[in-house]
Structure 1
Amino acid sequence: MTALSLVPFFVIGLLGSVHCVGMCGGIVAAFSVVPAARPFPVAVMAAVPVPVLSNRLVRVLSYNAGRIGSYAVAGAALGGVANGARMLTGFAAFQLGGLWLANLMLVVLGLYLTGAWQGLVRIESLGQSLWKLLQPLTRHLLPLDSPLKMFAMGSLWGWLPCGMVYSVLLTAMLTGSPLSGASVMLAFGLGTLPTLLVMGVLGTQLRVVMQKPGVRVGSGLLVLAFGLLGLWHAAHGMPGSWLDAVCITPMAS
């Protein structure tokens, strides 16, 4: 898997972060302003003139590092499981089927983000059992008075049932290897980082903008377009073209 083949997943995360703002942006903002019981090690943030801003930045970065790390772990686990299926079905058949399914999931995700179809909500129910086991652990991390606790909280919240994450996770599984699965989820998680980072530092101001219907629908339509373009790409077979930078390609599936 090349860096170019991971670009679509980063872009999906970036566009899909409008959903993240609505689902967990408030949580991130709340976590970022919890008073710390002891000073944070913010020596690396010495260039920031406002101590409060630097504290928030450290807290939000710690939380998101844990969250994205949990995505990568899930991608590696499912990629490893799918590796066995690839061995049984043959690489070519697995690759072709995975390519079509991955882009179909992009179409579904695009419809989900625009609000046109909420079928992914049903998929979220699949993760409720695991979340019921993990959620009580979050209480033991309170108060969130250190970056380490913020990292641990992010690691747990990364398993919060989310249809958007599950749609990309399916694609990660279809890569057929632990390393590729982790890479896909890491690229996706990094795509969601800019919005949630600004959200955590600045508070609710960004949430108001990102939750406007026009922003959400526009982002969803772009994801939908990626999916439709990817299906067209799969049907016509154009490996090595410029479409590799914006479509999920056989190399990534």
Structure 2
Amino acid sequence: MNLLPVLIAGLAGSVHCAGMCGGIVGAFSVGAPRSGGASARVIPIAQAGAGTMAIAASASAHVVAYNAGRIGSYMLAGAVAGGLAGSVASLARLSAFQQAGYWMANLMLIAMGLYLMDAWRGLARVEAAGGVLWRRLQPLVKPLLPMDTPLKALALGGLWGWVPCGMVYSMLLTAMLSGSALDGALAMGAFGLGTLPMLLAMGMAGAKLRQYLQQQAVRVACGLLVLGFGLLGMARTASGSQHGWLDILCLTVQP
């Protein structure tokens, strides 16, 4: 698996996280209150005395734990997907299964790019279908609020990683092609790390950064980047030959 383009795709696709998860990450920060009852930022940036520094350290621990849980759930899903698909392929000896998977994974990347650009909303229907799973998990969230301990943050992040998201689903399809549980977990871990800077920044800049990232020009630029990965992957799969350095830019490269 080529983890670099997966990481970049996660970074570019995190403009979707800004709209979908950014506000929620801000809301979860209420677990670290300031004096006087006002809630702190996820990552407080005010410079003050020891009290403020202690609040900053506490809030930072919360957001690190939350994102560790979220990325951990991605890796678990990737391990399951990669392990199951690898077992099916090895048992059935179906090269056609792999070939179809490569086409589907790159088509999903193209759909993801169009989704980020608001040019096509097909993945929104996929998210709606995934809502069935989230409705079963949602009652587990209530006991974890307010997120006033790092352990609660870790558990909440682990649950939040299963929120229906077309971007995550498209990456899971890529993880399926890894051929093993370990490689599937690594692929989803790289994707999760790609989304991490954006969600950390949400705590520092909050609504202003979220508004900037929702601008059409920003979404189009990020969407085009992901779309390009999908098109390169389709060209690579169609030719079936080695392309040297170009292979580094393909998320799904055939052995």
TM-score interval, smaller chain: 0.7 to 0.9
Return closer, same or farther for 1:57/1:201 CA change in 2, 3 Å cut-off.
Answer: farther
Select 1:231's aligned residue among 210, 230, 234.
234
TM-score between both structures, scaled by the size of structure 2? 0.86
Matches within 5 A, 1:167-186: 167-186=170-189
Deviates more, 1:16-25 or 1:178-187: 178-187
Match of 2:153, as an amino acid?
M
Q: 1:203 aligns with which of 199, 203, 206?
A: 206
Deviations 1:160-179 (A, max 9, x none): 11111111111212323211
Aligned equivalents of 1:146, 1:100: Cα separation in 2 = 44
* Unmatched runs of 5 consecutive residues or more in structure 2: 35-46
What corresponds to 1:216 in structure 2?
219
In structure 2, what is the equivalent of residue 16 of structure 1? 13
The Cα shift of 1:122 comes to: 1.2
Relative to structure 1, the CA distance from residue 244 to residue 56 in structure 2 (aligned partners, 3 Å threshold; closer, same or farther) is farther
**Alignment partner of 1:6 out of 3, 6, 12:** 3
The match for 2:130 among 123, 127, 133 is 127
Query: Could you say which residue in structure 2 is the equivalent of 1:109?
Result: 112
1:244 pairs with 2:241: no
Structure 2 SS opposite 1:176: coil
| Preserved CA contact (<8 Å) 2:177 2:252 | no
With structure 1 as the length reference, what TM-score do the two structures score? 0.87
Post-superposition offset of 1:240: 6.1
Q: 2:103 aligns with which of 83, 90, 100?
A: 100
Equivalent position amino acid for 2:98 in 1: Q
Percent sequence identity over matched residues? 56
Per-residue deviation, 1:17: 0.2
| Alpha-carbon spacing, 1:208–1:55, altered in 2? closer, same or farther (3 Å) | farther
Q: CA offset at residue 154 of structure 1? A: 0.5
Aligned to 2:43: none
3-state SS in 2 of match to 1:250: coil
Contact 2:75 2:189 in 1 (8 A): yes
User: Structure 1 residue aligned with 2:191, among 188, 192, 202?
Assistant: 188
The count of corresponding residues between Structure 1 and Structure 2 is 239
Contact persistence 2:202–2:209 (CA under 8 A): yes
In 2: Cα distance, 1:91 partner to 1:190 partner: 32
Q: CA deviation at 1:195?
A: 0.6
